[in-house]
Structure 1
Amino acid sequence: MAAVDPSFLQSWNCLGEKSLNTVWCFDHGDYFSVHFDDALLVANEFFLSPSVINYTRIESTVVPSVKIAKKDEKFLRFLILTKQLRVVVYESSIKSTRGKEWRIAAQASPGNLTGLDAYVDLSSGKSEDSTLLAVNIQWIEEECNVSLAFCNLEDHALVVGEFVDSPLLPNLEAAILQLGARECLVPSGLLAPDLDQTNSSQRPKVKSLPFLQLVLERSNVLVTELKKKEDFTDASEDLALLVKPEKSDTLSSVHHLLRHKSELSEAFCCLGAIVNFLRLKSNESMINSFTVSRFSLKNFVRLDSAALRTLHLLPSPDAVNRYQSVFGVLNHCRTEQGQRLLAQWLRQPLTDIIEINERLNLVEAFVEDGSLRQSFHGTVLRRIPDIPRLARRLRLSKGRLNDVYSIYVVVSLLSTVIDSLRQHEGRNKATLQKCFITSFESAAEDFKKFVEMVNATIDLDTAKQGEFLIKAEVDEELEVIKEKITKTESKIFKEFRKVSQEIGLEPNKTIKLENSEELGYYFRVTLKMEKHIRGLHWLKKIDLQKSGVRFRSADLSSLNEQYREFKSSYDTAQKTIVKEILSVTAGYLEPLYALGATTAFLDVIVSLATAAVSAPQPYVRPRFVPSDRGCIRIKDFRHPCLEMQSSVNVIANDVHLQRGKRIFKTITGPNMGGKSTYIRGTGLLVAMAQIGSFLPCTEAELVPVDAIMARVGAADCQLRGISTFMAEMLETVSVLKLATRDSLVIIDELGRGTSTYDGLGLAWSISTSLANEVGCFTLFATHFHELTSLALVMPTKFANYRVAAHVITDSENTMAATGGGVESKVVMLYKVEPGVCDQSYGLQVAHSVGLPAELVSYAETASSHEERLESLWIRLEEASLKKAVIDQEASNEESKTEECRPLNSLKAVLVAERTRTELISCISSAVNAAVPPSSFASALQSEIDRMLEEEKETANVDLRQLLKV
């Protein structure tokens, strides 16, 4: 790359301030250049090499630059679609005395891909929609009112809504994920308001943390700040201009929204921000093209970013294996629109049993009818293009004749699709008729005239070979040119036979005549046959490739020039007709969008059926029961992602949560034993079932949940001043505030980021709150073994389960019940069973992964005393609580209710700490006195009796209860 012009630095400084999420690209005609931090980003993350950077010193400033060829479309796709950045393209104007002056020529972002259409079609070939969200927040006392508007430019859908949220904005986070927003417009100053200096009557009294910024970052959404007064204007009057007026149901939805205008006033201002940002009113292709609806959080299962991340529903940006996400496991889609719809379904699991069962009926039909499934998956769906993208090009007047032919191919398939669906005789025939056959029949009727037009105007024979031409008989001028082309081609074929004979090669076998758009006609022989043309000076070689040598004779060169000239004349003559055909085709946008939606729906259903039958063990259909009979019962379930890993042998497990019996399951077990996989797998299968998928298990009975909430593996955010523990608590607060009786909560290792007793107290308090006050289904994986006593205090709500493991002692090579020193080996069984695991097996795991033996040995010595006390504590606690429960059952109901109440978190911590201290003192005294093993129990009992006698003088009933053995 040539050195940067010395005047460039001055021009750069005149461009103003550049945000961190923006890349400036400079258009030099045949290439782009990026500079400073943008150059480093492109070099390190796009080219993956710093060697492409060119450094230029201008006075005292070193300017790093990178040059990118304009034809490299992957560059702009990478910045906008992969890195979620905003790209601004500058082009130079006439030079002044200061050198080149640069002005903005175009800009695009994840929510507005059309800005760079002059450079690249960013919408083609991508599996996600261009979606834009606008948000505004107004604080009212201790709550905030969230207003939003949403636009999907691919589906031409508008959404407006308002709802109440807490200061942590969990509802907004769920809304962002449900809608699949890629960019968010916010009023300037909303991201990081100074809460400490704001009137407390207007804002809640919370720590000054940019919660909105955190939510948007967790959701991987690009943020764009706008000036509120200028950009957030009421757009309610624009609905009549933008929304389709044809259908009565669309009109009624607009009227319904306008009748509730007072409730949605701020939401309409957010819609105004979108209309202004995308310049919808000034774009003729956008007029009367949208649908509009009101947003409601109740339509789908509530998922926050923690749940989406924990359950691995969608692939992460750094995923290297398709089976690292549920999307990869279920994605057998043949169309781009099908893949987009599957991702949308995973973000929006259904809550309505009728809708869920309708999807399950459709999947079941294709699971049971193997020939129908294979026909669609193997043949029909492969031939369907990205219909929404075709419609978009036609709407923007950028369509071509090959787009018209692609639509023709799809419409021609409809009769085959309808006949195949009608032949299905299973029990779900009526559902197929309702969801697919009726829609496809309507589309076939809508496109009748279109098919007639294509048959009359487009040369279908050449189109099948990839050449798209208007039939010559449509126009006299075309007929004349066509005749010239035919005669010229006849002479070319004659020359081919002549040359083949002269050089002694067999036509179409050892020598071939080929035609390309770039070169026209030429001869080709393989490299092996090159010796037959070597030294023949009357043959002119074009190039040498792996496929062989390309060459022409003098006569073929002359004929080829004539042929290319006639072809150019034909293309010029047919332009007017092509323009008319494209104009007529654009009139079919409405049925085209409908056809695209139906083919996407069909593709996803076939994909789910294919995934169900192609798994290592076939999936089964889940059975949903009403909410009042609520249970989550899954037998022999397997984690779908692990099951697809060839190197993993998955152990099947059961899960049973029954409302009114045991809704809270505490899981203990060794590190790396499978606790997290078990609880995540349960949540994952519930989500799969509610999108309409079959499940990897032998039997499943479920109640629809309204939310899947996770508190798993919180990470810190140092740039925001948030520690791991703070992030954990923020997620936990959201769970407690939003969880309902119909929610599923997944918690893994709560309270790790603080002291043991603080963590235990929090875990105890949160557990009892979820079980008693919320009453939701909960899976809680923990190393706080003290929590297992909740199952003894409240046996109707808590159940204890453990992940089975064995320890093999090398010296004896036998199974041991306790740790056998650093020489022992832990064997994970990955089977979840009723009971409590009284060891963490941390030393064995550390030894197995290669931690130095001397460190493990020292750790064993330091922890052995406490480990034995831990086991003793658990046994003493279980025995005492069992006795307490038995005693209470024998007493009257009123006394039972009073004394069997669960210990509150503070008392639990104090009792645990006091009892541990006393037991350590008793055991240490007995050990120091060298009491014989046969007398140790009696000595310990004497010490405990003495402590109980002392406690008579106090009111600490809870401590006496725990010590009384």
Structure 2
Amino acid sequence: MSVLKHIGKNNELPAVAVSPSNFNSFVVQLLTERQYRVEVWADVKGGKNGWTIIRQGSPGNLEEFEEIVFDTCGETQETPTVVCVQIVSDGAGWRVGLAYCDNTLKIIGVCEFLDGDQLTNLEAALVRLGTKECVAAEDKMRSPVEGKKLREIFDRCDVVLTERKSRDFSTKDINQDLNRLLGPESCKLINMEDENALSSAACLIRYLDLLSDESLHGKFKLQELKLDRYMKLDKAAVRALNLLPQAQDGNRNMSVYTLLNKCKTHIGSRLLLRWIKQPLLDPQEIETRLDLVETFVNDVQLRQSMQEIYLRHVPDLARLARKFQKQSKATLMDAWRLYQFVQQIPSMRQALEDCETSKGSLMKEKMVDPLKSLEDDFKQYERLVEQSLDLEGIDNHEYRINPNYSPDLQRLAERKEELRRDIESERKKAANKLGLGEEKVKLERNKDKIYIFRITRKDEKVLRGKCGSFSVLETRKDGVKFTSTGLRPLSERYKEADDSYSEIQTSLVEKVVEVISTYAPAVESLSEVIAEIDVLVSLAHVASNAPTQYVRPLLSPAGQGDLILKESRHPCVEVMDDVSFIPNDIELLRSSSRLQIITGPNMGGKSTYIRQAGVIVLMAQIGSFVPCSSAEISICHSIHARIGAGDNQLKGVSTFMQEMLDTSSILSSATDKSLIIIDELGRGTSTYDGFGLAWAIAEHIASSIRAPCLFATHFHELTELEGKAEAVTNRHVTAHVADGKLTMLYQVRKGACDQSFGIHVAELAKFPEHVVEMARQKAEQLEMFGNASSSNEDAVGEPASKKRKTDEAAGEQGDHEEGSRLILQFLKDFSALPFDSLAPSEACLRVRQMRDEMASKGNKFVESLLLQPA
């Protein structure tokens, strides 16, 4: 790479020269990691105004850089999705129209739905689709209401925003545009009343310029995104459960995707990624997947043969289908790669058919019959490849047309061979004339494809005095190159024949590729079948080769049954080096232990314990076995997670504000069919405020939302909720203290933690001794103060003033409970304020009025919180 230069008018444009290989690397990094847009300009016409864009791309549209990206990142690179969004206010919420495009699978998807104030359904849809780029109308993004909400969602999902003119969302020509891309029959499936979805589709077609490539006309399929078919996952849950590898994570191998991805094909790896982001809700669909996984778990030989014999050498069928559709990119090598696998289909199908299993009919329906049908579809393809390709040349990695495929080509091939023999004879004559051994006179073709002779510089003297027969062309370090009166006309005739041969072969290659392209739909179907087999075999492999074997979960419909996981383990943690995982039971019973408050020392395993519940539920709903000795799982419509307390300073969001945003999203969208996971809520503010919020939120989840919930906390006082709120129970992680030393036992037991281990954990973290000692002294002083107060209150014959204090203490609990309800109501009212449409001064006034109203209730617990410094 050269140094930075400045070019253009007034040297305003910084520029740098890069090599072709560096260019490819930079383009990939800009598009996939930095998420920039890239334009490639060229001086096509020459002169000052000759520059024009020849290629352009964006994070969601890699169409013109596809080869570079896949060649650099590998075939497992996830196909990016670009989504167009249109939102319109609909009374209490929003009506969202959405359209997306998957260029690899040739899918145009549409969806229109109602959403709440926080657009949680839109966020779940963006996560589910693996969205890299969103297109929205300029006027919407400039609106203080719609624009602000959309930007928050896009930022949270790490999605690049592209703004387009409102006219691009016009639906004037949408019918004919979709007819050309989908075909008239597919267009009948569109609900023309979904105006927002159609306007988004119109913008998507214009933005991606889909109509300009006639080879794509009629090739797209229509797909309706059904939000009620898959589990709802927002970005916070995906990150909290470590479902996907994160670039910023120190250990990328800790993700659920990495753990489960033992796929042997690129198409399988990409399908697994979609399954993880789209857990199923239909019990029958989940059971079907589990039946097939169980078949591969039980049949070790079948599983191993699938992975080691049949799947290992499968090409990227989805990309091959795409190349066949775009005939200009397909090659004879692509045709040969497909041919090699197609020949394996019969034996692969037979291996599946011979499997002895009680699920034989299901195997036949899902795998054997589709492969049998495809096997028949490709018979003609096999004959075409065998007739048209030069199979002998392929052994030397030369992909060309078989000369016997065309009489003209065969005639020219024979002519070339005849001339080649004459040229070889001329070489021998030249060696004889020069008095050199035949092996010393080499025959080569120069850059103009003309045959020439070459001898070493040491033998140059033999040419002297023989200028009549030989002509020296050039002398270089590697030798002397020359020709002869006999070689020159032969070489020219050979070049003419070779050029004619190449011209005819090029024409034949185009015709063969054109015929092969008609098999693109069959290749797509084959890709879908093989990808699903690969994922199911991969899930069976992981289940069978885990440190302790996984089990098949027992499922119950959403809203029914309980979550009971016996000897459950975190699947990612248990496979880490030097880890001996301690399994724990998890029981969330709707009637008695719906919400569990987990206390215990830091580093004791609380976070791992609550995370593994979410991971196991998700694994079950994608059709995987789970890391337990037994598992009963009630299907969850959504998983909500608030884990960790980290600032998002680049976006101006503090630790506490991030907690409140995440928690507000949970409270507004969770239902009794959700699973809620909360870890250490209330950090980042004062102890009193944090405890008050944690209490109010936990009580609301238990009494109003009534969803199964694991609530890990450092507020030990929160354990008093047991017995005061419905179906709340306490759990604690155990630790052993001996001789002043703390040993984590990582076991979860019933009841609340009976002591604090903060100072012991500080010792484990190698705090300075004098700091630890001072902390111990202060803790002892506070404990003595507390004991003294208790002793005085319990003394026999205490004075009337002391008894009044005891009576007052009995009433404090009631104030506490009533205060928690007031705080929760304040939070609900606060979240309902239309901040987007209120001026800052008016917003402050409304909040102050709400605060004064809450204070006017005279609740002592609330008053104590309001007196705390901000």
Summarize the alignment of residues 467-482 of structure 1 with structure 2, pairs less than 5 Å apart. Answer: 467-482=398-413
Would the alpha carbon gap of residues 846 and 188 (structure 1) be closer, same or farther in structure 2, given more than 3 Å must change? same
TM-score, reference length from structure 2: 0.82
Aligned residue type for 1:725: F
Summarize the alignment of residues 351-390 of structure 1 with structure 2, pairs less than 5 Å apart. Answer: 351-390=281-320
1:324 aligns with 2:254: yes
1:793-818, Cα deviation, whole Å (9 max, x unpaired): 24x60111111111232xxxxxxxxx
Retained in 2: the 8 A contact 1:11–1:101?
no
Paired with 1:426 and 1:457, the residues of 2 have a C-alpha distance of 42
Relative contact order higher in (CA < 8 Å, ≥ 6 apart): 2
Which one of the candidate residues 372, 375, 379 is aligned to 1:448? Answer: 379
Corresponding residue number in structure 2 for 1:210: 148
Would the alpha carbon gap of residues 537 and 628 (structure 1) be closer, same or farther in structure 2, given more than 3 Å must change? same
Summarize the alignment of residues 82-97 of structure 1 with structure 2, pairs less than 5 Å apart. Answer: 82-92=33-43
Corresponding residue number in structure 2 for 1:128: 78
* Structure 1 residue 756, shift from structure 2 partner: 1.2
Q: Secondary structure at the match of 2:711?
A: strand
Aligned residue type for 1:67: V
Would the alpha carbon gap of residues 71 and 450 (structure 1) be closer, same or farther in structure 2, given more than 3 Å must change? farther
Retained in 1: the 8 A contact 2:246–2:252?
no
Retained in 1: the 8 A contact 2:2–2:16?
no
Retained in 2: the 8 A contact 1:385–1:406?
yes
1:186 aligns with 2:124: no
1:753 aligns with 2:684: yes
Paired with 1:489 and 1:945, the residues of 2 have a C-alpha distance of 125
Retained in 2: the 8 A contact 1:234–1:271?
no
Aligned residue type for 1:283: D
Retained in 1: the 8 A contact 2:80–2:130?
no
* Structure 1 residue 629, shift from structure 2 partner: 4.0
Summarize the alignment of residues 487-566 of structure 1 with structure 2, pairs less than 5 Å apart. Answer: none
Corresponding residue number in structure 2 for 1:856: 772
* Structure 1 residue 254, shift from structure 2 partner: 3.5
Aligned residue type for 1:216: F
Retained in 2: the 8 A contact 1:708–1:744?
yes
1:311-348, Cα deviation, whole Å (9 max, x unpaired): 11111124565521111111111111111110000000
Retained in 1: the 8 A contact 2:108–2:223?
yes
Corresponding residue number in structure 2 for 1:60: none
Aligned residue type for 1:168: Q
Retained in 1: the 8 A contact 2:416–2:498?
yes
Which one of the candidate residues 763, 773, 786 is aligned to 1:847? Answer: 763
Paired with 1:519 and 1:861, the residues of 2 have a C-alpha distance of 91
Corresponding residue number in structure 1 for 2:56: 107
Retained in 2: the 8 A contact 1:749–1:782?
yes
1:586-625, Cα deviation, whole Å (9 max, x unpaired): 1122222111111111111111111112222222211112
* Structure 1 residue 266, shift from structure 2 partner: 1.1
1:660-714, Cα deviation, whole Å (9 max, x unpaired): 2211111101011110011011100110111011112211111111001101124
1:128-154, Cα deviation, whole Å (9 max, x unpaired): 113110112222344222221111111
Which one of the candidate residues 906, 923, 935 is aligned to 2:788? Answer: 923
1:949 aligns with 2:796: no
Superposition CA RMSD, Å: 3.9
Choose 111-120 or 171-180, whichever is displaced more: 111-120
* Structure 1 residue 442, shift from structure 2 partner: 1.7
1:828 aligns with 2:744: yes
Paired with 1:361 and 1:490, the residues of 2 have a C-alpha distance of 68
Retained in 1: the 8 A contact 2:551–2:629?
yes
Paired with 2:159 and 2:353, the residues of 1 have a C-alpha distance of 44
Paired with 1:411 and 1:271, the residues of 2 have a C-alpha distance of 36
1:8 aligns with 2:1: no
Corresponding residue number in structure 1 for 2:738: 808
* Structure 1 residue 943, shift from structure 2 partner: 6.0
Paired with 2:808 and 2:765, the residues of 1 have a C-alpha distance of 52
Q: Secondary structure at the match of 1:654?
A: strand
Choose 118-127 or 264-273, whichever is displaced more: 118-127
Which one of the candidate residues 119, 131, 155 is aligned to 1:169? Answer: 119
Choose 382-391 or 120-129, whichever is displaced more: 120-129
Q: Secondary structure at the match of 1:642?
A: coil
Retained in 1: the 8 A contact 2:321–2:521?
no
Corresponding residue number in structure 1 for 2:164: 226
Q: Secondary structure at the match of 1:831?
A: strand
* Structure 1 residue 185, shift from structure 2 partner: 0.3
Aligned residue type for 1:215: I
Retained in 2: the 8 A contact 1:79–1:85?
yes
Which one of the candidate residues 140, 161, 164 is aligned to 2:90? Answer: 140
Paired with 2:776 and 2:799, the residues of 1 have a C-alpha distance of 28
Corresponding residue number in structure 1 for 2:275: 345
* Structure 1 residue 758, shift from structure 2 partner: 1.3
Retained in 1: the 8 A contact 2:168–2:202?
no
Aligned residue type for 1:179: L
Report how many aligned residue pairs link the two structures: 781
Aligned residue type for 2:751: G
1:721-768, Cα deviation, whole Å (9 max, x unpaired): 322211111111111111111110000011112111211111111111
Paired with 1:953 and 1:771, the residues of 2 have a C-alpha distance of 28
TM-score, reference length from structure 1: 0.74
Aligned residue type for 1:277: Y
1:869-904, Cα deviation, whole Å (9 max, x unpaired): 7xxxxxxxxxxxxxxxxxxxxxxxxxxxxxxxxxxx
Aligned residue type for 1:110: P
Which one of the candidate residues 207, 216, 219 is aligned to 1:289? Answer: 219
Q: Secondary structure at the match of 2:311?
A: helix
Retained in 2: the 8 A contact 1:235–1:268?
no
Retained in 2: the 8 A contact 1:363–1:608?
yes
Q: Secondary structure at the match of 2:344?
A: helix
Which one of the candidate residues 685, 702, 720 is aligned to 1:771? Answer: 702
Q: Secondary structure at the match of 1:383?
A: coil
* Structure 1 residue 571, shift from structure 2 partner: 4.0
Would the alpha carbon gap of residues 92 and 665 (structure 1) be closer, same or farther in structure 2, given more than 3 Å must change? same
Would the alpha carbon gap of residues 118 and 322 (structure 1) be closer, same or farther in structure 2, given more than 3 Å must change? closer
Would the alpha carbon gap of residues 95 and 415 (structure 1) be closer, same or farther in structure 2, given more than 3 Å must change? closer
Paired with 1:516 and 1:378, the residues of 2 have a C-alpha distance of 44
1:392 aligns with 2:308: no
* Structure 1 residue 855, shift from structure 2 partner: 2.1
Would the alpha carbon gap of residues 686 and 568 (structure 1) be closer, same or farther in structure 2, given more than 3 Å must change? farther
Paired with 1:144 and 1:386, the residues of 2 have a C-alpha distance of 41
